[in-house]
Chain A
């Protein structure tokens, strides 16, 4: 009878170490942020309905205001409030729409605020259109070329909540020549709580 004592061979060890090193290199070399984890961006202008696979989104109106007003509080802007009305229509079950930010031409991010009764996020069931008003306190130099980024995933660190998921990026259509007018607007806007929408994203006529 023959005993095979040397189970650990040099060749086997070298193979294992080599395979491990190769795997580590692969993990480190492949660009996660730019390729593997990149969200699926659906772009469009204000007024167009975007299909995000889990929901349809229409940005209906973009305004600016110095003061926001709701039934319970009044909020004064540090810069100016960029007020965006949007309509969601969930298509994939109950969905929490958690991500809302404005990205300016330089790539800076601006979060939505709940001041003045605005929505930082919203949620809805399928079967009806749901309207929400988002407000962003932005400085003057963020207005021109600003885009709105809405999704069910949160922004978080490196857009962690939006990896491999659809994200709507809406060009707010603000040109350099619009900036003065928008910035000087001293309006007070009354913010409505999120609720059923009758208009654009509804084709079968929702609850009203």
Chain B
């Protein structure tokens, strides 16, 4: 004699079978496959089938070499100072420089500003927002959203000159410089490094082929100790 429980299960199976029969009856094979796939996806819903894929960034460790896009990068340290090269901060601000060893390991030259795509301004660290030539901070008065943070200025840490391009096989010690509000200064700064994706053929309106592009996905994240004084 069958167990009561299995008899119940049997009934459910039989019921589902007859429902499936009734629905699938008269469907073509293609329709059945498609319907089956849809049912399958819905069946996975409680297990997170519709959840956004979230990739956790890897930990960023100062002194450790990593590869992003065409560059090998080593974040050396972060430094706060009052002037670097030709840069001086506005009153009440100071300069925050992230010092990075950079080597172009690809076989084509890149603009120095590509580094700004890898290193977006750290958020919540009091980076001074982009200022407009008209005095007030950028953006209209009504906007309540966070002001856009500026890209860093890319300098050679060695001599303070503007690093316009980085040729293949060449290494520089680079300073990525932001202006930081003095009252927000902390002993540590959390850096996000964005991933670069190679666009071989641009199918968007830009039609700008063969370049690195940052979609904004964070590849590495980690704290870097902020030192005071010396500028290299």
Contact = CB atoms under 8 A, between A and B. Distances in A.
B107 A157 contact: no
A111 B156 contact: no
Contact of A139 (B165, B170, B209): B170
Contacts of A114: 162, 164
B103 to A, nearest CB: 9
Given A157-B208, A157-B209, A157-B210, A110 B159 contact: no
Nearest to A138: B167
Given A74-B159, A75-B159, A76-B156, A111 B209 contact: no
Contacts of B3: none
Contacts of B208: 157
Contact of B170 (A120, A138, A157): A138
A128 interface: no
A73 interface: yes
B109 interface: yes
B109 A111 contact: yes
Contacts of A106: 107
A136 interface: yes
Contacts of A75: 156, 159, 161
B107 A73 contact: no
Interface in B140-178: 156, 158-172
A1 B158 CA distance: 92
Contacts of A157: 208-211
A139 B171 CA distance: 9
Contacts of B165: 111, 113
A108 B159 contact: no
B110 to A, nearest CB: 9
B169 A116 contact: no
B203 to A, nearest CB: 15
Given A109-B108, A115-B156, A157-B210, A79 B170 contact: yes
Given A76-B158, A157-B208, A157-B209, A139 B163 contact: no
A78 B168 contact: no
A137 interface: yes
Interface in A68-93: 73-76, 78-79
A17 to B, nearest CB: 25
A78 B160 contact: no
Interface in B83-116: 85, 107-109
A158 B209 CA distance: 9
Nearest to A120: B164
A142 interface: yes
Interface string B174-215: 000000000000000000000000000000000011110000
A126 to B, nearest CB: 29
B159 A76 contact: yes
B167 A111 contact: yes
A84 to B, nearest CB: 15
Given A78-B171, A110-B168, 12 more contacts: A73-B160, A74-B161, A76-B159, A109-B108, A109-B109, A111-B109, A113-B164, A115-B156, A115-B161, A142-B169, A157-B209, A158-B209
Interface of B: 85, 107-109, 156, 158-172, 208-211
7 closest Cβ pairs, A-B complex = A139-B169, A78-B170, A110-B167, A111-B109, A111-B165, A115-B161, A76-B158
17 contacts: A74-B159, A78-B166, A78-B167, A78-B171, A79-B167, A106-B107, A108-B169, A110-B167, A113-B165, A114-B162, A115-B161, A137-B167, A138-B169, A139-B168, A142-B168, A142-B169, A158-B210
